[in-house]
Amino acid sequence: MNYELMNNNVATVCGVVTEEPRFSHQMYGEGFYESALTVPRLSDQVDVIPFTVSERLLADGISVGETVTLSGQLRSYNKLTDGKSKLLLTLFVREIPEYDPARNPNTIDIVGYICKEPVYRMTPFKREICDLLLAVNRAYNKSDYLPCIAWGRNARFIKEAPVGSKVCVNGRIQSRNYQKTLEDGTVETRVAYEVSINRIELYKEDAE
């Protein structure tokens, strides 16, 4: 096992299970299930984070309404919807630690490469934002593509970083509703998932 790749992407969330786990797929004879976790923010809002978990970790059961801690990696995959490929994110659970109310309920640390030119903009309320897409390597020559959003001084710091820059990010996983106008003119509410950045640094080798 490549522990460096394991440490490229480490996430832990604590919250309430909102859906009964449902079968997703099977791999090498092992079944995997999907559900979602409602995770509180410091404000009155919450993030609803999808997760994927092995039947082996479900042996003791996870029930709707239960408060749990889940640790693993934020993964991306492409799903074909209406003939178009859509990037979806899920927390791939590797461990279900004992719940600790003193733990930060939503943390993620990733090391990845900027794979699209950063998009810097200003909100109507004059808040600086920079959108990033990071490629995070994992085992078996695969990568996860994780949308990230930086604010304020972090946005200014990273806005001119060239594609290919290696960065270290600490933040939280967030869900966000947005409006999508369809071809027939109707408006549909959808959910986007991304990493909200608390701290971002150029990888030491790139910073020299």
Number of residues in the chain: 208
Q: Please compute the mean of the pLDDT values over residues 113-125 and round it to a whole number.
A: 94
> pTM for this one?
0.90
**Is 134 exposed, middle or buried (CB count within 10 Å of its CB: 0-12, 13-18, 19+)?**
buried
At residue 162, what is the residue type?
P
Residue 42 has pLDDT above 90, yes or no: no
Write the pLDDT tens digit of every residue in 126-167.
899 999 999 999 988 899 999 999 999 999 999 999 999 999
Q: How confident is the model at residue 2 (pLDDT cuts 50, 70, 90)?
A: low
Residue 205 has pLDDT above 70, yes or no: no
In the 8-state DSSP scheme, what is residue 43? S
pLDDT of residue 202: 94
Contact 24, 35 (CB under 8 A): no
pLDDT of residue 19: 92
- Cα 112 → chain centroid: 13
